Structure 1
Amino acid sequence: MDEPPHRIRALHTASTITVYQAYAPEIGLPAVQEGRFPAAWKRDRMTWIKPSFLWMMYRCGWGTKEGQETVLAVEISRDGFEWALTNACLSSYARGTHPDRATWQRQLKRAPARAQWDPERDLQLQPRPYRSLQLGLSGEASRRYADEWTIAIRDVTPLAHEIHAMVKGGDLDSATRLLPEERPYPVEDELLAHLRE
């Protein structure tokens, strides 16, 4: 099946979407135990959420990079995710989407969320010819994410390590079977119109 250049693919239900983040154990483990981000998690800093499991693996090196040893699957409300999309601005200027660079800079400054499209990754973490969404949340969006939208937090570090071991051993079929089932996320075109590169 041909993939469009920009599409949100995610593990999702009728009311939730799963996004991934990776943290040091002192943040990640209490988040899993409490089912919410601990007080040590800075609500005033920008935090990036990724619906793509393999893009997260690329970013955190399968949970081996320093400060990213605990990989979290964060289930959030679709209402919250779509609020973030509606209120997001592209992280870089796109001719045709923004009237001009100055307008984009003003929008970016005001936006509580920023969107970035990065090449999706395969099991070897090589870039694919289509892109996946990352959302950066700050200010109001970051606080809502932590305190309102989050429904459950799971530690998927063991899964990351298991899949990585299979990839290293050349068993890509078994590794593929363990991947989260990410399907196209049903979103109206209008909701993404302002986020096209």
Structure 2
Amino acid sequence: MFGGMLAEDYDQFPHGLRVFGGHGGFVGCGITIATGLALGEPAAKVFCTLGDQGFTNSVQGLAAAVQESAPVTFIVCNNGGAVSLRKQSRPSGWLDAGHGEYLDNAAGMRYVDIAEAWGVRSWRVDLSEWLDRDRGATRLETFGQALQVASEETGPTLIELVLPSDPEFWSGVWITEGFEQKKTTPAEVTRA
């Protein structure tokens, strides 16, 4: 979703910047693909946008980026869990209708701490209090500074954006409605 937002202004990005979304086929596969792109095209600066669950699914890709000193920046959007899966599962009754804690991030998991333990320069920017405009503006400045520093690094970097799971926050950026489906009964399926 974050990558889609970035795509709107892709023409304004600096020359040589490549942005790769982390959900190309498998949630989180972007870490390894972006690492390969950074190694295969060393003149480019590569940014990889991914969600918190994508990071969890593919943390091995971060190990490869560290091992190869890949010049890639991972931007992890942490909204607390698999919000889109929860949204999709409610009307259909799948996955306990989205009420299961297994759709939340693992308790105590901090993406910046994991990256720093592996020697990756990292930043954590908390935008969860998005209604506080003054605080939000300051933190967006911090995010901009982190992006600038990350673009100048020669090895892997990580920026964790802590974002709200509130659907209102994502309005206009992420489809927060429209997944609703009428739950069909076995009799209705048989008649169809």
TM-score range, shorter chain: under 0.3
RCO higher in structure (CA 8 A, sep ≥6)? 1
Q: TM-score, normalised by structure 1?
A: 0.25
Bigger helix share: 2
Q: TM-score, normalised by structure 2?
A: 0.25
Bigger strand share: 1
